[in-house]
């Protein structure tokens, strides 16, 4: 028993040396974004997370004027939720608050690289994104667009069909994983480019 103690100590100190930072990175899949929708009273809160590749087609830091223009235009588009996720007119919704921004993940070179290797094995998720040509992406890690909306609706129970014009606005986006919370609980949906409509009739 006593002989074990020094070994244990060494292991402890060894791990302490490397464990002073926590390393974790979110999953990131090109073509797939996340949309959360919460209905509460006459308010609807929405949150969108989408990979930079889906929105602007690249994930390196925009340095050229052209790239920066693309990012600015995308942020402006993302700030108009009702143009992206069209609600039925009967619901009478108006935007109370909308914000959109570009977030880059703070990953170092090595990490970004590893992450990409995994991605490549996943196969066709990367159909729209060629890594051979875009060395920048590997250096800068992934970027994600993030938008939050708050809507006020006269009749939120009428918001049963949401038309995802999002896919028209962003040709690289293939799928949105949607989580919805209403009085009747939470459910998940997948809305794909081929069928860009979300039917929430069962949720009210």
Partner 1 sequence: MMLRLCLGSLMARALTVAMTIVAIALSVALFLGVEKVRTGAKASFADTISGTDLIVGARSGSVQLLLYSVFRIGNATNNLTWASYQDIAARPEVDWIVPISLGDSHRQFRVMGTSTAFFERYKYRAGQSLAVEKGAIMDDLFDTVIGADVAATLSYAVGDPIVVAHGLASFVEHEDQPFRVSGILEKTGTPVDRTVIVSLEAIEAIHVDWQSGAKIPGQSTPADVIRQMELEPIAVTAALVGVKSRLQVFGLQRAINEYPQEPLLAILPGVALQELWQIVGIAETALIAVSAMVVVTALIGMMATIFSSLNERRREMAIFRAMGARPRVILSLLVLEAALMAALGAVIGLALLYAGLFVAQPLVDATFGLWLPIEPPSLREFWVLLGVVAAGAIVSLVPAFRAYRMSLADGMMVRI
Question: Containing H/E element for 118?
Answer: helix 109-122
Please tell me whether residue 24 binds partner 1 under the rule CB under 8 A: yes
Among 76, 117, 186, 197, binds partner 1 (CB under 8 A): 186
# residues near partner 1 by CB under 8 A: 17
Cα(120)–Cα(129) distance, rounded to whole angstroms?
10
β 32-40/175-182 pair status: parallel
Does residue 65 interact with partner 1 by CB under 8 A?
no
Output the furthest CA–CA distance in the chain (Å, rounded): 76
3-state class of 137 per DSSP?
helix
Distance CA 52, CA 27 (A): 14
Q: Tokens 């070994």 identify what position?
A: 7
Given 188, 194, 201, 202, the residue binding partner 1 (CB under 8 A): 188
Residue with smaller CB distance to partner 1, 97 or 155: 97
Q: Interface with partner 1 by CB under 8 A: which range of 81-89, 95-103, 122-130, 178-186?
A: 178-186
Tell me: does residue 145 bind partner 1 (CB under 8 A).
no
Can you give the binding site for partner 1, defined by CB under 8 A?
A: 22, 24, 26, 36, 38-40, 43, 45, 47, 150, 179, 181, 185-188
């Amino acid at each position: 028993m006593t002989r074990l103690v020094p070994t244990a100590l060494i292991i402890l100190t060894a791990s302490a040396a490397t464990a002073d930072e926590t390393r974790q990175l979110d999953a990131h899949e090109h073509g797939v974004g996340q949309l959360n929708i919460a209905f509460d009273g006459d308010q609807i809160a929405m949150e969108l997370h989408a990979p930079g590749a889906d929105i602007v087609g690249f994930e390196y830091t925009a340095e050229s004027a052209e790239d920066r223009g693309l990012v600015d235009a995308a942020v402006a588009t993302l700030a108009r939720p009702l143009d992206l996720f069209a609600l039925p007119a009967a619901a009478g919704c108006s935007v109370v608050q909308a914000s959109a921004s570009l977030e880059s993940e703070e990953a170092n070179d090595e990490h970004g690289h590893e992450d990409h290797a995994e991605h490549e094995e996943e196969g066709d998720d990367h159909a729209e994104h060629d890594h051979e040509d875009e060395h920048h992406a590997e250096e800068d890690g992934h970027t994600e667009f993030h938008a939050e909306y708050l809507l006020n609706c006269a009749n939120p129970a009428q918001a049963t069909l949401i038309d995802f014009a999002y896919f028209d606005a962003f040709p690289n986006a293939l799928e949105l994983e949607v989580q919805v919370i209403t009085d009747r609980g939470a459910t998940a949906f997948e809305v794909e480019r081929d069928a860009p409509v979300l039917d929430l009739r069962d949720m009210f």
